[in-house]
């Protein structure tokens, strides 16, 4: 019986971890190219969830059907933010300006959402709402399963884009050496805009999938933004594959921990493990330097 509960918790954790993985991957992509830590990535997820809600409320679009529209809207929104705000804040003597900017931008977006939508929870039912499939005695929520499949497809498309397309090669070249990329004729400012836009679009896909079984409120970005930083710390800042594995690991850790110690202590367990990972990484780095 206990093993059955644990297997069910692991399955649920993998489904939840898919969202964490995609948000962490979007954060890592921006850092990998632009070398800045985007502290408003959670709020990007929140904005995409509200966009999904509006498409559902006024056009009747299912959250899954709305994914392409949400991705395009978030790409344009992210590219606009990068070209108008981020680029103007980058200085040669450090990235403090960008850190403060993204922090303030996250607060601004949360308060705008609070002003427009109040603090009420908003939902958008999908065509698979409340449906469950049973596999080997384990129950799996259909919206979560479909969302996880979409997240896997989105992750694969990002990998293929980075490896085989001209834009992907420009992104990888800029990530490795921005000055060298400029010398070869690559317009790095355009690459930065595309990269930030793609990062926002990835968060948009995650937000649309999340709306199929969750709800949105102005501060929801805080929860998933914090989780994204834990994910990239677990998987390695700048590593896309690490973000995917870290997201899945965090999801499993949360659900299994909730099963073992109770849902009230879930966050405590997650942050304790996070602190432990930071301490272990620092000890490993000290040994390497020594």
SS3 140: strand
The CATH number linked to 247 is 1.10.3470
Eight-state DSSP code of residue 139: E
Eight-state DSSP code of residue 95: S
Kindly give the parts of the chain with pLDDT less than 70.
1-2, 4, 91-95, 237-238, 290
Handedness of CA 257, 263, 264, 268 (dihedral sign): positive
- What angle (nearest 5°) sits at the alpha carbon of residue 22, between those of residues 17 and 26? 145
Q: Measure the N-to-C terminal CA separation of the chain; round to a whole number of Å.
A: 48
Burial of residue 180 (CB within 10 Å: 0-12, 13-18, 19+) is exposed
| Cα 82 versus chain centre, distance | 17
Specify the pLDDT at position 97: 77
Specify the pLDDT at position 2: 52
Long-range contacts of 228-231 (CB under 8 A, 24+ apart): 228/20, 228/23, 228/24, 228/26, 228/27, 228/41, 228/42, 229/27, 230/270, 230/271, 230/274, 231/20, 231/21, 231/23, 231/24, 231/27
Decide if 16 contacts 256 (C-beta within 8 A). Answer: no
Alpha helices of the chain — where are they, by DSSP H?
Answer: 2-34, 41-59, 67-81, 87-89, 96-117, 142-164, 166-176, 178-183, 188-211, 220-235, 240-261, 266-289
Specify the pLDDT at position 1: 46
Q: 91 lies in which domain range?
A: 2-289
- What angle (nearest 5°) sits at the alpha carbon of residue 78, between those of residues 156 and 60? 75
Specify the pLDDT at position 166: 92
Specify the pLDDT at position 67: 95
Specify the pLDDT at position 253: 85
**282 φ, ψ to 5°?**
-65, -40
Residue with structure tokens 């010398």?
183
Which two tokens mark 11? 């399955």
Decide if 184 contacts 190 (C-beta within 8 A). Answer: no
Specify the pLDDT at position 81: 93
Helix (H) or strand (E) holding 129: none
Which two tokens mark 224? 């998933």
pLDDT digits (tens, 9 = 90+) for 157-190: 988 998 899 998 998 898 888 888 888 889 888 9
pLDDT digits (tens, 9 = 90+) for 143-164: 888 888 988 898 889 889 988 9
Half-sphere exposure for 174 (CA within 13 Å, toward CB): 26
How far apart, in whole angstroms, are the C-alpha atoms of residue 27 and residue 173? 18
What is the number of structural domains in the chain?
A: 1
Residue 122: Cβ within 10 Å count:
19
SS3 97: helix
């Amino acid at each position: 019986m206990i093993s059955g509960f644990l297997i069910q918790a692991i399955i649920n954790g993998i489904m939840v971890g898919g969202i964490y993985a995609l948000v962490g991957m979007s954060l890592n992509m921006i850092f990998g190219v632009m070398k800045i830590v985007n502290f408003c990535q959670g709020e990007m997820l929140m904005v995409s969830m509200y966009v999904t809600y509006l498409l559902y409320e006024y056009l009747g679009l299912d959250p899954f059907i709305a994914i392409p529209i949400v991705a395009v809207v978030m790409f344009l929104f992210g590219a606009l933010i990068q070209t108008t705000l981020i680029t103007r804040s980058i200085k040669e003597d450090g990235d403090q300006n960008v850190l403060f900017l993204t922090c303030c931008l996250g607060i601004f977006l949360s308060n705008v959402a609070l002003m427009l939508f109040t603090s009420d929870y908003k939902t958008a039912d999908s065509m698979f709402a409340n449906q469950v499939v049973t596999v080997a005695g384990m129950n799996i929520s259909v919206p979560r399963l479909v969302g996880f499949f979409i997240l896997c497809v989105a992750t694969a498309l990002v990998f293929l884009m980075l490896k085989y397309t001209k834009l992907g090669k420009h992104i990888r070249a800029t990530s490795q050496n921005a000055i060298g990329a400029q010398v070869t004729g690559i317009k790095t400012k355009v690459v930065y805009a595309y990269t930030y836009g793609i990062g926002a679009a990835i968060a948009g896909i995650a937000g649309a999938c999340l709306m199929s079984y969750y709800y949105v409120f102005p501060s929801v970005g805080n929860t998933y933004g914090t989780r994204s930083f834990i994910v990239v710390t677990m998987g390695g800042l700048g590593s896309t594959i690490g973000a995917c594995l870290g997201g899945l690991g965090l999801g499993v850790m949360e659900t299994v921990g909730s099963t073992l110690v109770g849902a009230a202590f879930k966050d405590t367990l997650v942050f304790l493990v996070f602190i432990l990972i930071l301490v272990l990484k620092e000890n490993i780095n000290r040994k390497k330097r020594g």
